[in-house]
A and B are shown apart, each in its own frame.
Chain A
Amino acid sequence: MLFNYLKITLAVLKRRKFFTFISLFGISFTLTILVVTTAFFDHLVAAGYPEANRDNSLYVWNIKEKDTKNGGSSSGPVSFSFINTYIRTLKTPAKIAAVSMFNNLNIYLNNHKIKVMYRYTDANFWDVTSFEFLEGKSYTAQNIANNDYVVVINDHVRDQYVGKGQSAVGKMIEIDNVNYRIIGVVKGCPVTRLHTTSDLYFPYNTSKADLKKTSLRGDYIALILPNNPEDKLKLQEEFRAVAAKIKPTKTGDKWFNPDKIYVFADTYFVSFTRELKGSGDGDGSAFIISILIGIIFLFMSLPAINLVNINMSRIMERASEIGVRKAFGASSKRLVMQFVIENIILTFIGGFIALILSSLVIFYINQSDLIPYIDLSFNWKVFSIAILISLLFGLLSGVYPAWRMSKLQVVDALKY
């Protein structure tokens, strides 16, 4: 019986080519977009080079000062001294790294100008991240203590500076009239790794900024890697207690005089949702997740409605077949089953096409230079869920029209 259903399904799909194209296009296109989008989202949020420890890490990124009386607020990254004063002093054992926000500068290599991204970091930065050193090594606390003017560059800069595959370690590079010794070369990472991506990494001692300035705000991020993943919650609680005691900045301004501080040690994802939609103590993650689920649902429901429509007219077209089958002994239940199985087969074919399409798109994105160093991966979990949702829609869109038609009197179905 099942083989027979398969045979009739393939025959119907083959004969009604336009309908088949529209249905398969709807299913496979939706699934492909969904899988590629989630692969991208996964790439943005999940652990990956060089943030292999992301899932276990905490981030102190933004600090918000609020004037609850006048209603104003001000927020931005924390300062280097804030990290030293309030984060490095936490008692729960953890590795704490400081990394500045990225900036751009022009460097002149072999008579041509290239625009590069740079950051300042401490020595711990290399311990909490998982950079692959192609040659040389990272700077150490000793380099910083010695006030060494050293730099770690990525392979992109290395290839332009000394040529592809050539050794760069030990060479000097002049940046803003200052000579730096190249101490290491790392494999680059995509711009989507917001807290770690850069072309040049300088030890913080080379920064011209006054890092001892005691303001709360600055342009640094703290990356906290607990010694045990179980310590994450403990660290968050400890930092919450510390943050509660921090005194807001005295501005002396009558219009903006903050009296409340919001600063948290968050997971990577929550550090963004708090920024996007957080309010005070709320981290905004539930809201953002609801929005994402809502978008996915809306996005999936469009082809589903389309499928219901197509199925309705397709089944109407086959009313005579339904009549004949009923006349020769098919019960309504059997007919519904037949159309549902047809829809399931159609969904699976669409899913298979989507699997190939999304693999191709992901391969193309990874291979092309659209986003250098990007490493999207096919997310089987999302693909399986999407297939299940499509199947559900396929079932619903097939069952209703088939059920309606199967309820027709045979004699009426035969009239179509």
Chain B
Amino acid sequence: MIQLKNIEKVYRTATIETVALNKVNLDIEKGEFVSIMGPSGCGKSTLLNIIGLLDEPSKGQVEIDGKQTNGLSDAQLASFRNQTLGFIFQSFHLINDLPVLDNVELPLLYRNVSSAERRRLASEALEKVGLSNRMKHYPNQLSGGQKQRVAIARAIVGQPEIILADEPTGNLDSNMGNEIMDILLTLNQRDKATIVMVTHDENMAKRTHRLIRLFDGSQVS
């Protein structure tokens, strides 16, 4: 499903060159739930961003669902992300100006989906995460756990094959964190979504199929 070949990411300033990822090779199967762990600054988020086509590698190739992604245009990348990938961020990244339902609808805005159909799919997604009673609320009226559930609903509303979660429980207490993890596991088991999750939490990582460890930009297990 996801194939990374010799991925390197180097950040350059006028004086310093920092290697964030060093020759990372990775294969993730369809339907797998993989967690990525490692100390802060080891390149976990960078790796996830490269998998999610949010960032470009300095070297190497990313292949998703059999499609080579290097060299795709801005519009092609946008369309590919829209159809195939769903994102969950540590700090939620909800649009505060829009109510919950509109936030969840967002990925569908960039597809040819009618307004009524968008509403229906977004309502269904919110039901899946147990937030159908908060559709008209604004993000700043919700708790951290609720915000993350909205973010999950947004990630799954377009039924992408791959969900990428960057420390989805990082800003939540352990109870909330477990709830979010339960939702992700359900998505993986019931909907067969492929999930790649960056986490600091060993317990969360243990609940996934496979753990990838990074250290100083290199894959150590």
Residues of A participating in the B interface, judged by any CB pair closer than 8 Å? 1, 3-4, 7-8, 11-12, 15, 320-321, 323-334, 409-411, 414
Instruction: For the complex, give the distance between the alpha carbons of A97 and B106 in Å.
Output: 74
Chain A residues with Cβ under 8 A from B158's Cβ? 328
Known A-B contacts A7-B102, A331-B74, A331-B75; the reply to A411 vs B49 at CB < 8 A is: yes
Chain A residues with Cβ under 8 A from B83's Cβ? 329
Chain A residues with Cβ under 8 A from B110's Cβ? 328-331, 334
Q: Is B10 an interface residue (CB 8 A)?
A: no
Contact B95 A321 (CB under 8 A): yes
Chain A residues with Cβ under 8 A from B52's Cβ? 327
Instruction: For the complex, give the distance between the alpha carbons of A143 and B102 in Å.
Output: 83
Q: How far apart are A113's CB and chain B's nearest CB, in angstroms?
A: 67
Q: Is B93 an interface residue (CB 8 A)?
A: yes
Contact B54 A331 (CB under 8 A): no
Contact B54 A411 (CB under 8 A): yes
Q: How far apart are A11's CB and chain B's nearest CB, in angstroms?
A: 4
Q: How far apart are A323's CB and chain B's nearest CB, in angstroms?
A: 7
Contact A330 B97 (CB under 8 A): no
Known A-B contacts A11-B97, A409-B54, A409-B56; the reply to A327 vs B75 at CB < 8 A is: no
CB closest residue in chain B, given A16: B97
Q: Is B33 an interface residue (CB 8 A)?
A: no
Q: Mark B87-122, 1 if CB is under 8 A from A, else 0.
A: 101000111111000100011011100010000000
Contact A4 B49 (CB under 8 A): no
Instruction: For the complex, give the distance between the alpha carbons of A333 and B73 in Å.
Output: 12
Q: Mark B36-55, 1 if CB is under 8 A from A, else 0.
A: 00000000000001001011
Chain A residues with Cβ under 8 A from B97's Cβ? 8, 11-12, 15, 321
Contact A414 B82 (CB under 8 A): no
Can you report 17 A-B residue pairs in the complex whose CB atoms are below 8 A from each other?
A: A4-B102, A8-B95, A11-B97, A11-B98, A15-B96, A15-B97, A320-B93, A321-B95, A324-B93, A327-B54, A327-B93, A328-B81, A330-B109, A330-B110, A409-B55, A410-B49, A414-B93
Instruction: For the complex, give the distance between the alpha carbons of A317 and B188 in Å.
Output: 35
Contact B82 A8 (CB under 8 A): no
Chain A residues with Cβ under 8 A from B98's Cβ? 7-8, 11
CB closest residue in chain B, given A3: B115
A contact face: mostly helix, strand, loop, or mixed: helix
Instruction: For the complex, give the distance between the alpha carbons of A328 and B106 in Å.
Output: 7
Closest 3 CB pairs of A and B: A329-B82, A329-B110, A331-B78
Q: How far apart are A101's CB and chain B's nearest CB, in angstroms?
A: 64
Partner of B87 from A7, A15, A327, A331 at Cβ < 8 Å: A327
CB closest residue in chain A, given B109: A4
Chain B residues with Cβ under 8 A from A331's Cβ? 74-75, 78-79, 110
Residue of B75, B78, B98, B102 most packed against chain A (CB within 10 A): B78
Chain B residues with Cβ under 8 A from A329's Cβ? 78-79, 81-83, 107, 110-111
Contact A324 B95 (CB under 8 A): yes
Contact A414 B89 (CB under 8 A): yes
Instruction: For the complex, give the distance between the alpha carbons of A323 and B93 in Å.
Output: 9
Chain B residues with Cβ under 8 A from A11's Cβ? 97-98
CB closest residue in chain A, given B85: A327
Instruction: For the complex, give the distance between the alpha carbons of A327 and B86 in Å.
Output: 8
Residue of A324, A326, A327 most packed against chain B (CB within 10 A): A327
CB closest residue in chain B, given A15: B97
Contact A328 B82 (CB under 8 A): yes
Q: How far apart are A175's CB and chain B's nearest CB, in angstroms?
A: 72
CB closest residue in chain B, given A9: B97
Contact B55 A325 (CB under 8 A): no
Instruction: For the complex, give the distance between the alpha carbons of A333 and B78 in Å.
Output: 10
Contact A324 B106 (CB under 8 A): yes
Q: Is B154 an interface residue (CB 8 A)?
A: yes
Instruction: For the complex, give the distance between the alpha carbons of A410 and B81 in Å.
Output: 12
Q: How far apart are B156's CB and chain A's nearest CB, in angstroms?
A: 12
Chain A residues with Cβ under 8 A from B95's Cβ? 8, 321, 324
A1-B109, A411-B49 are known contacts; what are 4 more A-B pairs with Cβ within 8 Å? Answer: A324-B94, A324-B95, A326-B81, A327-B52
Instruction: For the complex, give the distance between the alpha carbons of A331 and B55 in Å.
Output: 15
Chain A residues with Cβ under 8 A from B93's Cβ? 320, 323-324, 327, 414
Residue of B79, B94, B95, B97 most packed against chain A (CB within 10 A): B97
Chain B residues with Cβ under 8 A from A334's Cβ? 78, 110
CB closest residue in chain B, given A327: B87
CB closest residue in chain A, given B45: A411
Chain B residues with Cβ under 8 A from A1's Cβ? 109
CB closest residue in chain B, given A332: B74
Instruction: For the complex, give the distance between the alpha carbons of A334 and B79 in Å.
Output: 12
Instruction: For the complex, give the distance between the alpha carbons of A324 and B97 in Å.
Output: 13
CB closest residue in chain A, given B52: A327
Q: How far apart are A20's CB and chain B's nearest CB, in angstroms?
A: 12
CB closest residue in chain B, given A410: B54
